[in-house]
Amino acid sequence: MRRFIDLADFSRDELLGLIELARRLQARPEPQALAGKVLGLLFMNPSLRTVASFQSGMARLGGASFVITPGSGTWQIETRDGVVMNGTAAEHVREGVPVLASYCDALGIRSFADGKDLAADLGEHKFAAMAKLIEQPLINLESAVNHPCQSLADWKTLDELGIPRHGKLVLSWAYHPRALPLAVAASTVHMAAMRGMQVVVLQPEGFALPSAIIDKAQRAAAASGGSLRTTSDRREALEGAHVVYAKEWASTAHYGNEAADADARRSLTHWCLDESWFAEARADCRLMHCLPVRRNVAVADRLLDGPRSVVLRQAYNRMPAQMAVLYRLLKQTE
Ligand code: CP
């Protein structure tokens, strides 16, 4: 394994192998496995879980890591090509990324969607431009439409909870005052489809996931024996659900248009998930969310603090899942 960019780059069996390795490293730690190895982490956008779980995971395998957050003690980094760099950015990714890569054995990059041009974001133009600058093992820490580390951890969480392979997972849009990226929503539907689940995307009008994301997940579902459909009918979506995965995302009908997006979401504050949403679901239906979550905006306090919520378990699983990724990437290079 040389790169961990998108779950779609791997077979179902390869991902199950990674999850099994994560379980093994949890049960039988290997504190010297990556001794002498260095992981670089470049965060073009903020993080809590991804930065901390990667650093902790690398240390638990005996390796070291460094974190660069451009503009916070290091130069701001320009990502656009062909611009006159007379603004705040003193460094360009064309130099910055290869320089960082030369100091480490594997590099992780977080670079969110610009949220202006849907086609460019769906094409992962910004992440791909950085990825081609380096030869070293590369990890996607969340790009425009992908968050494979989150989804690998979520798959592990679903397995641990005993959610049936063909169980029903509802990805529900949740309210947020601003337009958020599509990455977790896209990764989640793809992961659940690959796992073989009955996936239902519940969204208000104007917030349908782009066909490129749906079509990709449909192909994964066809290969795994799962299914995928979309609806705006909450009762019908939640009926018999094993899992509800809440996520906030941008209006795709008004992508890149801040004012129109704000207008579209203004009347949707009732898309704050609470216990009443689960009336038609299974009694043991779980609530998932990748975090961070705005309490009482996207999800109600009582739901997050109640027995349905597995958000802390999901967050914990980031660490062993990523340890498995690091192990595969860096042990192989020896
Ligand atoms: N879920 C997730 O990636 O969290 P952070 O943005 O805090 O890393």
For 11-51, the pLDDT digits (tens) are: 999 999 999 999 999 999 999 999 999 999 999 999 999 99
Q: What local confidence, expressed as pLDDT, does residue 332 receive?
A: 59
Phi, psi of 64 (to 5 degrees): -120, 165
pLDDT at residue 301 greater than cutoff 50? yes
List the domains of the chain with CATH numbers.
3-147+318-333 (3.40.50.1370), 162-309 (3.40.50.1370)
Q: What local confidence, expressed as pLDDT, does residue 157 receive?
A: 99
Average pLDDT of span 306-334:
93
pLDDT at residue 294 greater than cutoff 50? yes
Atom of ligand 1 nearest to the CA of 142: 3
Phi, psi of 209 (to 5 degrees): -70, 145
Residue-averaged pLDDT of the chain: 97
With CA atoms as reference, report the closest residue to 299 among 151, 176, 158: 176
User: What is the Å distance from ligand 1's center to 42 Cα?
Assistant: 14
User: What is the Å distance from ligand 1's center to 192 Cα?
Assistant: 19
Average pLDDT of span 214-238:
98
For 51-90, the pLDDT digits (tens) are: 999 999 999 999 999 999 999 999 999 999 999 999 999 9
Which contiguous run of DSSP H or E holds residue 38? strand 38-43
Structure tokens at 210: 């782009």
The residues lining ligand 1, judged by C-beta closer than 6 Å to any ligand atom, are: 47-50, 142, 150, 290-292
Structure tokens at 287: 């609530």
How far apart, in whole angstroms, are the C-alpha atoms of residue 297 and residue 300?
Answer: 7
pLDDT band (50, 70, 90) for residue 333 = very low
How far apart, in whole angstroms, are the C-alpha atoms of residue 203 and residue 230?
Answer: 8
Phi, psi of 121 (to 5 degrees): -70, -45
How far apart, in whole angstroms, are the C-alpha atoms of residue 266 and residue 159?
Answer: 37
User: What is the Å distance from ligand 1's center to 143 Cα?
Assistant: 12
Q: What does R_g of the chain's alpha carbons equal in angstroms?
A: 20
How far apart, in whole angstroms, are the C-alpha atoms of residue 69 and residue 55?
Answer: 14
Q: What local confidence, expressed as pLDDT, does residue 334 receive?
A: 42
* pLDDT > 70 fraction of the chain, expressed in percent and rounded: 99
For 119-177, the pLDDT digits (tens) are: 999 999 999 999 999 999 999 999 999 999 999 999 999 999 999 999 999 999 999 99
How far apart, in whole angstroms, are the C-alpha atoms of residue 5 and residue 27?
Answer: 26
Beta strand pairing call for 38-43 and 106-110: parallel
User: What is the Å distance from ligand 1's center to 155 Cα?
Assistant: 16
What is each CA distance from 177 to 49, 174, 293, in whole angstroms?
22, 10, 12
Average pLDDT of span 282-310:
98
DSSP state of 81: T
User: What is the Å distance from ligand 1's center to 147 Cα?
Assistant: 9
Q: What local confidence, expressed as pLDDT, does residue 91 receive?
A: 97
pLDDT at residue 268 greater than cutoff 70? yes
Average pLDDT of span 97-116:
98
Atom of ligand 1 nearest to the CA of 291: 1
Phi, psi of 309 (to 5 degrees): -75, 130
Residue with the smallest CA separation from ligand 1 atom 4 is 49
User: In this structure, are residues 41 and 27 in contact, taking their beta carbons and an 8 Å threshold?
Assistant: no
Structure tokens at 334: 């020896």
